Amino acid sequence: MTATYHVATAGPVTGAIPAAPPGSRTAQPRAYLMCRPDHFTVRYTINPWMASGEPVDQALAARQWQALHDAYTGLGHAVQLIDPQPGLPDMVFAANGATVIGGTVLGARFRYAERAAEGPAYLDWFRQRGFSPVHESHRVNEGEGDIVHAGGVILAGYGFRTDQAVKQDLEELFGLPVTSLRLVDPRFYHLDTALCVLDAGTVAYYPAAFDEAGRAALAAQFPELIEATGEDAGVLGLNAVSDGRHVILPAQAAALAGQLAARGFEPVPVDMSEFRKAGGGPKCCTLELRP
C-alpha cells in the first residue's frame, strides 16, 4: 500500500538539514498490538478532550479503527489483537498498556482509577504469549503514551500522567539513556499527543506543549525537527505512527502531511475523529512490539 498526500502550504521546519527527496526514507517492518473498540465510549472525564460531552458514534468508531488496522497490514506490518474487556472503554488505546523494547515489557500503572484495570489486562496478554521478562511498574506510567523509543534513546514525558522518576526504571530495564520532557499544556497530556518520532534522527513536535528545557533537549538530541502548527496539534495530528517512511496520521492534519511529504516521508491519512473525543488518535490505538 502506497499513499500520497498533496498539500500546497507547509508550516515551519527547524534545523539546517535540506529537505529529503521523495522516497529517500526507509520503511522498516513493524509489529503492533491493537484492541478492538467494542466497548469504546466517553463516560468519564480525565483529560480536556473528554469534557465536550459529544457522544461517540460507535459504528463509525469501529470503521475508523478497522481502517487504521488495514493501513498497517496493507503496509506489510504485523498486527496482533488483545481482547477488549467490558467496563474498560479506553482499553482501545493500546499504546498506554505497556512499553516493549528488546522483548522486555514494562507494564503500565495508570494515574486514574477509571483505567487502572487496563494494566493487569495487558500484562496478562504478554505473559500468556511468552514475552519475557515482563515487569510490573511500581511507579505511575502510562506506557507508550509517555514513553517513546527513539533508536538509541528513550523520551519520557511527565507532568500530567507519568511520574518523572520512572526515568530510573526505564534506564535500568532497557539499558538506554532517557531524556525527560515536561509537558505543560493539559490538552497534550501524553507525550504522544505532542510528538512523533519519525526516524532515529527526525522528530515532529508541537513546541508549545513543552517547557524551555524540553525544547532545548529535543534540539540537542535530534538533527531534524519538524514543527507542527497549532491547528494540526489541535486535531492531534502528532498522534501518529511512523515506520521510517510511511507516517499514519490523522487526516485532518493537512499542513503537517505537507511538511512530512516535503521531507521525504509518505503521509498515510486516516480519519480517527471519533477517538479524538476521548483524546486519542492513531498512535493511541497502537502499541509497538519491539523484539
Residue-wise pLDDT for 153-200, tens only, equals 999 999 999 999 999 999 999 999 999 999 999 999 999 999 999 999
Q: Is 6 noted as a catalytic residue in this protein?
A: no
pLDDT in tens, 7-40: 222 333 333 344 555 557 999 999 999 999 999 9
CB contact at 8 A, 19 and 263: yes
| Strand pairing class (104-107; 202-205) | unpaired
Active-site annotation holder among 69, 77, 149, 190: 190
- Secondary structure (3-state) at 221: helix
Query: Which residue among the candidates 35, 69, 246, 284 is catalytic per the annotation?
Result: 284
First to last CA, the chain: 24
Active-site residue flag, 190? yes
Which stretches in the chain have pLDDT values below 70? Answer: 1-23
Structural fold of domain 22-288: L-arginine/glycine Amidinotransferase; Chain A (3.75.10)
Total length of the chain: 291
**Ranges of each domain in the chain:** 22-288
Q: Which three cell numbers stand for residue 68?
A: 487504521
